[in-house]
A and B are shown apart, each in its own frame.
Chain A
Amino acid sequence: MTYTSHTDAERREMLETIGLEKIEDLFADIPKKMRASALELDGPLSETEVRREFARIADGNCDMTCSLFLGAGSYHHFIPAALSHLVMRSEFYTAYTPYQAEASQGMLQSIYEYQSMMCELTGMDVSNASMYDGATALYEAAIMAMRCARKRTRIIVDECINPLYRNVLATYAGNLDLELVHVPAKDGHTDVEAIAATLDDKTAAVLVSNPNFFGVVQDFSELAGKVHEYKALLVMSVNPVALGALKTPGEMGADIVTGEAQPFRSPMFFGGPYIGFMTTREKYVRKMPGRIISETVDEDGERGFVMTLQTREQHIRREKATSNICTNQGLLSLTVAVYLSLIGRDGFTALAEQNISKAAYAKKALTKVEGVSLKWKSPAFNEFVLSLPQDAEKVIENLTAEEKIVGGLPLKRYYEGMDNDVLVCVTEMNTREQIDEYAAALGRLI
């Protein structure tokens, strides 16, 4: 059979050892009326047939020669060749969560390296070993803030946060005694004054993003001051690629930093697996969800790494648990550490600069098309909102169908009154030629 090894003779001998005659006897405890009839499934297929079948299925996807200007939380970035080779070392990917630390030093050390790098990028003291994705990390940060600011149940949510993230927050918020208060965007950026006016002594946290959904970057130092006056926490969801250029959330006064680290490894994989991250200040570490790795020593005093502060977790506290997460995205935190090491310090700075440069070039090129303008002129990272003279959904649809250009995300579905607006993303992967072609095609279609 496919992945089992016993011969018929071995099975008979083993049954004999147990004192049974037939394989079916192993399942005698299952009452007759509960027995399943034969399952109706496709297969079995040989490897060759599987290859053919998936080649056929993959044909149903788009031709990957499309040029892509679509971001909105999932980004197309450069993947170094060495990256996938290292991550596909099966010592890593076929291992379980590192419960047996002595046999898991490779994974534990790499996660410790990941934690160190994420702290360095965000300007914070502590990082966990990663979370499911950007949206769930933001929700976990919100309920973590409720644990830090005891008995407070109000969470202020900036509407510049990715609407997909806000939908996820709404899903989970219904579980607990938690009130989400939304504050509308003002010209594409966070309305700091409106948020300040919404703060009260029931507010546990203010959630903002940087760059925000529209690509706009903002200094939240002033907001942090106001949030702290009310003894609430500032939670900032960031695109980590921008941190090559952007003042750190730590310097801005954030208390919890989360985000999506998918841009650090890239396969967009139709939405997953991705990797949420979370960093915070040391004083909040015991309220932080997820795995955390600590340095320690072995019996000979040699350095080693272990999972720590597990008393926070469900193994021990069970019904008093504050989080049910018992995995991280282990392989993806390894990926992030390897990626950041491969592109290195100067590469990371250059990456952010390339994204800013490409976006600046694209803004110029695309707004040369008659009737096309920038929605807002605010400082932005690698995304920006373009206003078209007509319904953006139609234009983007035609661009894809006729020109093989995926021109961005029409915003009609996400924000009222933005029928003609499209969110465009430009990364280091978009060549000047692609951008020029996009502008030319847009000119032909409008």
Chain B
Amino acid sequence: MKLILEKSKPGRKGVGLPKLDVPRVSAKKAWPKELVRSHQPKLPQLAENDVVRHYTNLSRRNYGVDQGFYPLGSCTMKYNPKINEEIAANCGFGALHPLMPEYLAQGALEVMFRLEKALCEISGFKHATLQPAAGAHGELTGIMLIKAYHRYHGKTNKNVMLVPDSAHGTNPASAVLAGYKIVELPSDDRGNVDIQAFRGALNDDVAGIMLTNPSTLGLLEENITEIANSLHERDALLYYDGANLNAVMGYARPGDMGFDVMHFNLHKTFSTPHGGGGPGSGPVAVNEKLVPFLPVPTVEHRDDHYFLNYDVPMSIGPLMTYYGNFAVMLRALVYILRNGAEGLKRVSEDAVLNANYVMQRLKEVGYTPSFPRRCMHEFVLNNSDKAKKGARTLDISKRLLDFGIHPATMYFPLIVKEAMMIEPTETESRETLDNFIEVMAQINREIDDNLDLLTQAPHNLPVKRLDDVRASREPVFRYKPGQE
């Protein structure tokens, strides 16, 4: 499809601005010559309908959860309820300036206050900040809180963060950006943190550990109690990566497992749309130890009045220009209210049920789960037997696209060869799951019967397989409009 910039027609006008009802003052008149732009930026010149057609047709070259199954492991691609969007669009919060006097923003502050309370109840923590804009931003925030805690207690020697080898790549990256050295812990043959390696790595320089529980393998950490106790004995803290919270709501709370701080992904667990890669929201909850260091402003409630509190003397400071991705928080609160406690418990039950069902059925049709345990809300296939026959995980994934199914997460976690990480989520029906299993079975047969079908897939998408190598060797980052 042509670029919008290539469709531009000289002189064509788009949507008009409000009428200018004051005397016109041009930049040339208002400013010295050296400040004035020498040429108009070459933006498209199109009529409204041209633009509407262009982006409507582009949307048809994109695949979202509303079109079909999206079992992208670790991303929790559940259905995004429409009432969330309606409330966000229609409740008038869009016109609320962030620096409005507090008494005129009571509604927005109530939303933030109630969401914080609900997240703390779900996770077993004391307080939370809603500021982080994404999961990785939440990780960085959590690690900064740990750092502030150790600094306050004079433990500046604590400069090591333990990270399991199954962790999300953002975990070590976030810890590095907070100024930590990383010690990677291997996994054992049941997918747990290797407890011997953990004991060996533990010393007084350890500031904390970053764990996902259930892990990225979809497995519950069996040694969590020992890990928590031995870290706390040395005054090291436990960070919980909440990417997999969808597995345990109403059954277990990270705060009760011994964790000190965690981040949530509102765009995963709490059904806010992923938006093609953002905006997300990554609130961070903490126990008493870390409350004094929370980012400013905190949202407080006193004498029937909500307010932003900047008077937090040991705060790490503000994380964003304002208070975080408010419109995402709004959707998450709608979701929590729609579900209630029973609903959220049901969410985790069906998420885990669906994952185990799909894992069991895929085993029956010739696929190999990476660990012989019951899984939580997701599981990882090891496709190395298929790769030996010439069908890599990449090929199986591209072939899935031909059946209108979004592929699972590929080649992650790094410790599983030819990994395919499948997270069905709770919002998928039995028919959708069964269809996926049938398609996977067919693809498995095609590996023997007609391998080309896989290696040349996808066959019926807007484009064939794209050349990533060329894009990284000779990248083209922008369209350059011609001289007119």
Q: Is the CB of B91 within 8 A of A55?
A: yes
- The answer to the question of B289 belonging to the interface, with a C-beta cut-off of 8 Å to chain A, is no
A94 vs B96: C-alpha distance in the bound complex, in angstroms?
A: 25
Q: Is the CB of A273 within 8 A of B321?
A: no
Q: Is the CB of A324 within 8 A of B48?
A: no
Q: A313 contacts which chain B residues (CB < 8 A)?
A: 169
Chain B residue at minimal CB-CB distance from A349? B40
Q: A18-B360, A98-B276, A298-B464 are in contact. Are A116 and B479 (CB under 8 A)?
A: yes
Q: Is the CB of B407 within 8 A of A314?
A: no
Q: A44-B339, A92-B275, A314-B170 are in contact. Are A246 and B3 (CB under 8 A)?
A: no
Q: A3-B79, A217-B31, A432-B21 are in contact. Are A297 and B279 (CB under 8 A)?
A: no
Interface segment among A128-136, A179-187, A366-374: the answer is A128-136
- The answer to the question of B193 belonging to the interface, with a C-beta cut-off of 8 Å to chain A, is no
- The answer to the question of B101 belonging to the interface, with a C-beta cut-off of 8 Å to chain A, is yes
- The answer to the question of B158 belonging to the interface, with a C-beta cut-off of 8 Å to chain A, is no
- The answer to the question of A257 belonging to the interface, with a C-beta cut-off of 8 Å to chain B, is no
- The answer to the question of A153 belonging to the interface, with a C-beta cut-off of 8 Å to chain B, is no
Q: B319 contacts which chain A residues (CB < 8 A)?
A: 136, 168, 171
Q: Is the CB of B80 within 8 A of A110?
A: no
Q: A309 contacts which chain B residues (CB < 8 A)?
A: 472, 475
Q: B79 contacts which chain A residues (CB < 8 A)?
A: 3
Can you pick out 15 interface pairs between chain A and chain B where the beta carbons lie within 8 Å of each other? A39-B249, A80-B48, A86-B59, A88-B85, A91-B62, A98-B276, A136-B133, A271-B326, A273-B327, A296-B466, A308-B468, A356-B26, A357-B25, A400-B101, A431-B21
Q: A74 contacts which chain B residues (CB < 8 A)?
A: 97-99, 321-322
Nearest 5 interchain pairs by C-beta = A271-B322, A106-B62, A43-B340, A171-B317, A331-B275
- The answer to the question of B197 belonging to the interface, with a C-beta cut-off of 8 Å to chain A, is no
A293 vs B475: C-alpha distance in the bound complex, in angstroms?
A: 9
Q: Is the CB of B173 within 8 A of A328?
A: no
- The answer to the question of B152 belonging to the interface, with a C-beta cut-off of 8 Å to chain A, is no
For window 165-211 of A, CB contacts with B under 8 Å fall at: 165, 167-168, 170-171, 174-177
- The answer to the question of A29 belonging to the interface, with a C-beta cut-off of 8 Å to chain B, is yes
Q: B463 contacts which chain A residues (CB < 8 A)?
A: 101-102, 105, 298, 302, 304
Q: Is the CB of A62 within 8 A of B278?
A: no
- The answer to the question of B157 belonging to the interface, with a C-beta cut-off of 8 Å to chain A, is no
Q: Is the CB of B44 within 8 A of A341?
A: yes
A126 vs B90: C-alpha distance in the bound complex, in angstroms?
A: 36
Q: A274 contacts which chain B residues (CB < 8 A)?
A: 321-322
A80 vs B14: C-alpha distance in the bound complex, in angstroms?
A: 10
A129 vs B279: C-alpha distance in the bound complex, in angstroms?
A: 12
Q: Is the CB of B51 within 8 A of A271?
A: no
Q: A337 contacts which chain B residues (CB < 8 A)?
A: 4
- The answer to the question of B378 belonging to the interface, with a C-beta cut-off of 8 Å to chain A, is no
Interface segment among B136-144, B234-242, B384-392: the answer is B136-144
Q: Is the CB of A132 within 8 A of B133?
A: yes
One digit per residue, 1 when the CB lies within 8 angstroms of any chain B CB and 0 when it does not, for chain A 327-367 equals 11111101001101111111111111110111011000000
Q: Is the CB of B34 within 8 A of A247?
A: yes
One digit per residue, 1 when the CB lies within 8 angstroms of any chain A CB and 0 when it does not, for chain B 24-54 equals 1111001110111110111111101001101
- The answer to the question of B126 belonging to the interface, with a C-beta cut-off of 8 Å to chain A, is no
Q: Is the CB of A41 within 8 A of B133?
A: no
Q: A43-B338, A347-B14 are in contact. Are A311 and B37 (CB under 8 A)?
A: no
For window 49-105 of B, CB contacts with A under 8 Å fall at: 51-52, 54-56, 58-67, 70, 72, 75, 77-81, 83, 85-87, 89, 91-101, 104-105
Interface segment among B200-208, B426-434, B440-448: the answer is B426-434
Q: Is the CB of A113 within 8 A of B479?
A: yes
A18 vs B361: C-alpha distance in the bound complex, in angstroms?
A: 9
Min Cβ gap A174→B in Å is 8
- The answer to the question of B366 belonging to the interface, with a C-beta cut-off of 8 Å to chain A, is no
For window 177-197 of B, CB contacts with A under 8 Å fall at: 177-179, 182, 184
For window 289-332 of B, CB contacts with A under 8 Å fall at: 295, 316-328
Q: A330 contacts which chain B residues (CB < 8 A)?
A: 274-279
* Residue of A97, A320, A327 ringed by the most chain B CB atoms within 10 A: A327
Q: A351 contacts which chain B residues (CB < 8 A)?
A: 17
Q: Is the CB of A116 within 8 A of B32?
A: no
For window 90-114 of A, CB contacts with B under 8 Å fall at: 90-107, 109-110, 112-113
Q: How many A-B residue pairs lie within 8 Å, measured between CB atoms?
A: 681
Option from B251, B324, B430, B475 in Cβ contact (under 8 Å) with A294: B475
Option from B8, B134, B430 in Cβ contact (under 8 Å) with A132: B134
A270 vs B92: C-alpha distance in the bound complex, in angstroms?
A: 11
Q: A10-B430, A341-B46 are in contact. Are A347 and B15 (CB under 8 A)?
A: yes
A446 vs B255: C-alpha distance in the bound complex, in angstroms?
A: 55
Option from B43, B55, B139 in Cβ contact (under 8 Å) with A110: B55
Q: A129 contacts which chain B residues (CB < 8 A)?
A: 277
- The answer to the question of B453 belonging to the interface, with a C-beta cut-off of 8 Å to chain A, is no
Chain A residue at minimal CB-CB distance from B130? A272
Q: A26-B374, A102-B458 are in contact. Are A324 and B277 (CB under 8 A)?
A: no
Interface segment among A117-125, A144-152, A228-236, A437-445: the answer is A117-125
A5 vs B472: C-alpha distance in the bound complex, in angstroms?
A: 43
Q: B407 contacts which chain A residues (CB < 8 A)?
A: 100
Q: Is the CB of A314 within 8 A of B349?
A: no
Q: Is the CB of A92 within 8 A of B353?
A: no
* Residue of B75, B280, B322 ringed by the most chain A CB atoms within 10 A: B322
Q: A94-B273, A106-B61, A348-B41 are in contact. Are A132 and B320 (CB under 8 A)?
A: yes
A354 vs B468: C-alpha distance in the bound complex, in angstroms?
A: 44
A352 vs B41: C-alpha distance in the bound complex, in angstroms?
A: 12
Q: Is the CB of A306 within 8 A of B466?
A: yes
Q: Is the CB of B277 within 8 A of A89?
A: no
Min Cβ gap B476→A in Å is 4
Q: B456 contacts which chain A residues (CB < 8 A)?
A: 299
Option from B99, B135, B248, B323 in Cβ contact (under 8 Å) with A72: B99
A218 vs B36: C-alpha distance in the bound complex, in angstroms?
A: 10
A351 vs B321: C-alpha distance in the bound complex, in angstroms?
A: 25
Q: Is the CB of B357 within 8 A of A17?
A: yes
Q: Is the CB of A30 within 8 A of B251?
A: yes
Q: Is the CB of B37 within 8 A of A244?
A: yes
Question: Assuming A50-B338, A168-B320, A330-B277, what are 17 further A-B pairs, CB within 8 angstroms?
Answer: A15-B353, A39-B122, A43-B339, A74-B99, A94-B80, A96-B75, A105-B1, A106-B60, A119-B478, A132-B320, A171-B295, A248-B37, A269-B93, A296-B467, A321-B173, A347-B16, A357-B22
Q: Is the CB of A350 within 8 A of B374?
A: no
- The answer to the question of B199 belonging to the interface, with a C-beta cut-off of 8 Å to chain A, is no
A116 vs B43: C-alpha distance in the bound complex, in angstroms?
A: 9
Q: B278 contacts which chain A residues (CB < 8 A)?
A: 97, 130, 273, 327-332
Q: Is the CB of A91 within 8 A of B66?
A: yes
Chain A residue at minimal CB-CB distance from B131? A272
Q: A354 contacts which chain B residues (CB < 8 A)?
A: 17-18, 20
Q: Is the CB of A60 within 8 A of B464?
A: no
- The answer to the question of A390 belonging to the interface, with a C-beta cut-off of 8 Å to chain B, is no
A18 vs B355: C-alpha distance in the bound complex, in angstroms?
A: 10
A218 vs B35: C-alpha distance in the bound complex, in angstroms?
A: 7
Q: A428 contacts which chain B residues (CB < 8 A)?
A: 17-18, 20
Option from B46, B225, B317 in Cβ contact (under 8 Å) with A344: B46
Min Cβ gap B164→A in Å is 12
Q: A3-B426, A91-B63, A267-B327 are in contact. Are A70 and B136 (CB under 8 A)?
A: no
